[in-house]
Amino acid sequence: MSHGLNPAQQAAVEHHGGPLLVVAGAGSGKTRVLTTRIARLIEHHGVTPASILAVTFTNKAAGEMRERIGRLLGHDPVGMWIGTFHGIGARMLRRHADRVGRTPTYTIYDEDDTLAVVKREMERLRISHKVFTPKAILAEISSAKNALVDPLEYERLGRTPLAEAAAKVYRELEGALRSANAVSFDDLLTLPVRILRESEQIRQSVAARFQQVLVDEYQDTNRAQYEFVRVIAGGHGNLAVVGDDDQAIYGWRGADIRNILDFERDFPSARVVRLEENYRSTAPILELANAVISMNEGRRGKTLRTTRLGGDPVTLVEAADDRDEAEAVVAACQQWQRARGPWRECAILYRTNAQSRAMEEALRTAAIPYRLVGAVRFYDRREIKDLVAWLRLVANPADDEAFRRAITAPKRGVGETTLELLAAEARTNGHSLLEQSRRIESMPGVRPATRGALTQMVAIVDRVRALAADAGVDRLLLEVIQATGFDEALRAEGPEGLERLDNVRELVTSAAETVIEDGGEVGLRPLDHFLQRETLVTGLDQLGPDADAVTMMTVHTAKGLEFPMVCVAGMEDGLFPLFRTIEDPEALEEERRLLYVAITRAGDRLQLSWAHQRRRNGELLPGTLSSFLRGGVAACYTKQPTVRARGSARLTSPYLGGGVGAARGARGEGRERPVGRGRTPAWTPRVGSQVEFEPEEAPSQDLPRFVPGERVRHGRFGSGTIAELSGSGRDAKVTVDFDDEGIGRKRLVIAFAGLERGFE
């Protein structure tokens, strides 16, 4: 069963009694160790599957783990509890729901459902949605719950106006959920911990039931998850955790790296085994990974060693600007595809979703198929479609669909009832919605505030339309954003809104580039040209998820994946690491761990890249090479300035790899060779089109994807047909029309529905 394991893996598998910490480096075979260990407990030590609890972070990982164990044993480990923290918590909560004022038939509220409750409580408490958005309030409460901070303690700790407002809602939220016999997603972690803490009988019963507890990805546990495991395993101490402190990258959502760093504090007799042999990456890639992560202070310390011979040197592309960088990345993918393997073996990673835009456009220009994982296509994002609707209305005042979208971006108090009234009047008079809005004063039954909103909208469209004859599209967008307060509305959405604001900036950048890059078309205003181009972009045929295509995603999304060829873009201070982390030592170390994760996704070839200038809001701003790649780390890569970077005398920088000419020669650091042959790709483009993945779900769940019309089976309701899908990630919901007329249509949370597909 343990044949083929290296000595460290063997030691982790054969450890039987007492706590165990397996520090598993990237690509070191941790899943094999975990599954082999469980199989050995059952087969060699006689542990019954029913007394084993195995916890991981995604349903996919849990399913794969169960399958592997079954293959090792030759039969399914019946009775073993294996699943996600939330899934295990929900299962335990069903058994003891009465302890927290629920019944076993309680409802699990997803984020949308919980947000609706928060909104109602805010209204009841007279907390203005304009001052504090419900999303921001819910985010505060969620963070408190996952840190096991109850409403009273949170109220004492609150120091900001937002925290004070959230405390009031938090105090009322539990009662509202209890009255509805419902729990939030966060409650699936916190309520089981509360039950275990408060009931000695249940705590002893659960500990006696689960004599062996195993946890994967331990570095990603938050306070509630840590306490859940500690309480169950604290008595017998048979706890085996597997993780890598160097890959702890979820501090921003509550994960606490101290859980793995301080494991021996809670379990003094723990044995620590380090898995340092890497089966994925070549020596040059691991040399860079080790050099980068060694700069962190808050780590246990380990050095990855490759099991592979040879390997291409790691390259750092120095580009003139972000377009030049995107072309260099495309050139690298093209080179790989011609010489080494299919498109699907290439991955492009970046720090923020907004960076995908430049890469998407470069790939389309080169006719290279690609798929975007973990996000929707740039031009399909909500905030982008909102602003494009404004531009469409400016270009064509008769576009009623654009009017309907623009009037709600941002919301201005014009509801569906008013819109239908306006539309009916417009049809009667043969007018567009915009034209009818000019006559709003003559329409009866419209509130003064609504009249004012429509009049203001008409004025904005007219003003921007007057500019459109000559002005660039970036200027028009900035005018719309300022006049409507679009940016302020996004900021009010909290962290998610700030990310959307980054996408808005990229749209302005794209607009500024359009005429420059394509040269315009005869007879078209810049606005008309931009809209035509944008329509063609969003109208591209989509290939299936199994198509041969380059993969694009953020580094966070890439965790746990691997590719033969990886390009990591945007290696500049302020972008990687982000500006907001530079003055925060803990956050900066997490950013460095994130780079370590990016590097170790690569198996055979790794290319990093940075740009001297990057467009933000249509303006070229200077950039400097990431501090993560300076100093001694520079010995681990070969520099490749693009032709444009090499030939531009204006590009100078005092940092390693940050300049040309005297600045570079004075240091003599790094190895250098040119890349590319200018702006025109030196290859024959292969015809292809964009591929799109549906948005990946949150890191805590990995859910199956369904499509409308698909046949499924539910354990309780029987067979049915999917009618609708909504939400994403852990909040994804599905509406099913079940064959049994007595059941009819049901709306289910996919994470907990247990749907099986393909039933007639």
Q: Catalytic residues, which ones?
A: 30-31, 216-217, 247, 601
Whether residue 257 contacts residue 248, with contact meaning beta carbons closer than 8 Å, is answered with yes
Q: Is the peptide bond before 577 cis (omega within 30 degrees of 0)?
A: yes
Distance CA 16, CA 494 (A): 47
Helices 495-518, 356-365: axis angle to 10 degrees equals 30
How far separated are the first and last CA of the chain, in Å rounded?
40
> Given CA atoms 654, 658, 663, 668 in this order, what sign does their dihedral have?
positive
Backbone φ and ψ for 756, nearest 5 degrees, come out as: -110, 140
What is the SS3 assignment for 523? coil
Give CA separation, 600 vs 27, 407, 609, in Å: 8, 46, 16
Question: Residue 422: which of 458, 386, 466, 465 has the closest Cα?
Answer: 458
Distance CA 543, CA 372 (A): 12
Strand ranges, E, within 476-601: 550-554, 563-568
Distance CA 151, CA 38 (A): 39
Q: What is the residue-wise DSSP string for 173-215? A: HHHHHHHTTEEETTHHHHHHHHHHHH-HHHHHHHHHH-SEEEE
Distance CA 592, CA 601 (A): 15
Backbone φ and ψ for 154, nearest 5 degrees, come out as: -65, -40
